[in-house]
Amino acid sequence: MAESNPPVMTIAEVAEYLRIPRASIYKLAQKGRIPCQKVGRHWRFRRESLEQWLANQGAYARQTLG
């Protein structure tokens, strides 16, 4: 049974969570711009790391724009 908020997420789950295309997630992961790990051929994302990354992205935007 799949969890609604799994601690480790797939590309598809992250794309749905962030509401951006899967291709964008792949590009961010390959460039090292989003926190993730490669397990074999598959990318995996820790929900906790993504939430922290999102919070930091907002802080960065406020500093550069404001």
In a domain, 43, yes or no: yes
Q: Can you give the CATH number for the domain in which 15 is found?
A: 1.10.1660
**Among 5, 14, 17, which residue's Cα sits nearest to residue 45?**
14
Tokens of 39: 């397990």
In a domain, 3, yes or no: no
Q: Between 51 and 60, whose confidence is greater?
A: 51
Domains identified in the chain, total number: 1
The answer to whether the beta carbons of residues 25 and 61 sit under 8 Å apart is no
In the chain, the amino acid numbered 4 is S
In a domain, 57, yes or no: yes
pLDDT of residue 13: 97
In the chain, the amino acid numbered 44 is R
Q: What is the pLDDT of residues 11-50, one digit of tens each?
A: 999 999 999 999 999 999 999 999 999 999 999 999 999 9
14 by DSSP, 3-state: which?
A: helix
pLDDT of residue 1: 45
In a domain, 42, yes or no: yes
